Amino acid sequence: MSIRLDRVSRSFGAGPVVDDVSLAVQAGELVCLLGPSGGGKSTILRIIAGLERADAGEVWLEGQRVDHLHARDRDVGFVFQHYALFRHLDVAGNIGFGLSVRRRPPDFIRARVAELLELMGLGGLERRFPASLSGGQRQRVALARALAPAPKLLLLDEPFSAVDAQVRQELRQWLRRLHDDVPITSILVTHDQDEAFAIADRVFICRNGRIEQAGTPVEILDEPASEFVAQFIGDVNLLDGVVRDGTVWVGPLGMAWPARDGACRVVIRSYDLKFWCMNPGIASVARILPMGDRVRVEAILDGGQALFAQFPRRSSLLLGLEKGTRIGVEVTHARCWPIQARVST
């Protein structure tokens, strides 16, 4: 089911939570709304589902305007953050709820519930009550319940935030496979960039009720549209630079950058840096921090600006590096924003 939001806004008392948002999702896509808490992601999802009304703007599902439709008539599956299972119903009762309120015949419901139990790996749990299930099981029951009426659109609001890290990984992979197996369009809200980049076809970055950038994970990682996006999506260095004759300089560190002369902010992801021993070099190592499979190396550029890089534990770039070593620095990818533009936005 294709989705289109056209200039949708919503305010709660203090100010706009969703501010003039337009977005389009193609049928069959899995997209993520990614952003910090309070950025309006969940509200956008709730407006699409019909759980919240928009103050202004239009919501279109499959080419039909649905603003006037109640949530129950939108044919949308919704998975809530904290499962929200019906505590008084067993697993089968929960999964079958959407079919039973639509008055499907009991035989049909039984068959569909059995099919979903199988699909979700919940076989044997149909008579258990939610209180006796693990977090991962509960989340799969919630998902099965949302999928039971065969919606064409699946909306997931931070679905994996309440389960522990390992289960989250599994559920993520599993959701991606499920999405590919079932003809469905999915929108997932998350504040976890790893999650978004791991499973989404496209990512919408939300901030202060607006969409800051939309694109594939690679587009966003390589070409963040703003300093905020660059900073939000991962471990980045944020530095003050000056552009002169097509090169941006951060102290002694120069990178080719075609822009007009002037002060700018430079964003370099920690994976887009190379350090190696070199005397005299342009920086010295300040700290080396092992972080499991990675090593974080912090350095001070001549002129005083600090930056850090991350390398795999066995990287040859780490050879001979220790505190105080003089190093050379190479930047494989960077983005710059003129300071004036920042003020004007």
Interface residue list for another protein (CB under 8 A): 49-51, 70-74, 76-78, 80, 82, 84, 86-88, 97-98, 101-102, 145-146, 148-149
- Contact status, residue 328 vs residue 276, Cβ threshold 8 Å: yes
Tell me the C-alpha distance between 274 and 72, whole Å.
54
Which pair of structure tokens corresponds to residue 146? 């949302």
Cβ 121 to another protein, closest distance in Å? Answer: 22
In the complex, least distance from residue 111 CB atom to another protein, rounded to whole angstroms: 18
- Phi, psi (degrees; rounded to nearest 5) at 195: -60, -50
Report the residue number, 51 or 250, with the smaller CB distance to another protein: 51
H/E element holding 99?
Answer: helix 91-101
Q: For residue 218, how many other CB atoms are within 10 A of its CB?
A: 9
User: For residues 80 and 174, which CB has a smaller minimum distance to another protein in the complex?
Assistant: 80
| Pairwise CA distance, residues 213 & 272, whole Å | 21
- Write down the least CB distance from residue 3 to another protein, Å: 15
Question: By C-beta, is 120 or 211 nearer to another protein?
Answer: 120
Least Å from the CB of residue 41 to another protein: 17
- Closer by beta carbon to another protein, 159 or else 224: 159
C-alpha 273/C-alpha 308 separation (Å) is 8
For another protein, the closer of residues 73 and 223 by Cβ is: 73
Closest approach, Cβ 83 to another protein, in A, equals 9
Burial 121-150 (b: 16+ CB within 10 A, else e): ebeebbeebbeebebbbbbbbbbbbbbbbe
For residue 95, the minimal CB distance to another protein (Å) is: 10
CA torsion sign for 35, 38, 39, 42 is positive
Nearer to another protein, 10 or 145 (CB): 145
Q: Which is nearer to another protein, 51 or 248 (CB)?
A: 51
Contact 193, 176 (CB under 8 A): no
CB 180 within 8 A of CB 102: no
Q: Tell the residue number behind the tokens 């930047």, with chain if given.
A: 331
Q: What is the distance between the terminal CA atoms of the chain, rounded to a whole angstrom?
A: 34
Smallest gap from residue 260 Cβ to another protein (A): 51
Q: How far is the CB of 26 from another protein (least distance, A)?
A: 22
**How far is residue 332 from each of residues 134, 268, 273, measured CA to CA in Å?**
45, 9, 6
For another protein, the closer CB: 73 or 118: 73
**Shortest approach of another protein to residue 118 CB, angstroms?**
20
Q: Which is nearer to another protein, 82 or 110 (CB)?
A: 82
Instruction: List the Cα angle 43/22/222 in 5-degree steps.
Output: 95
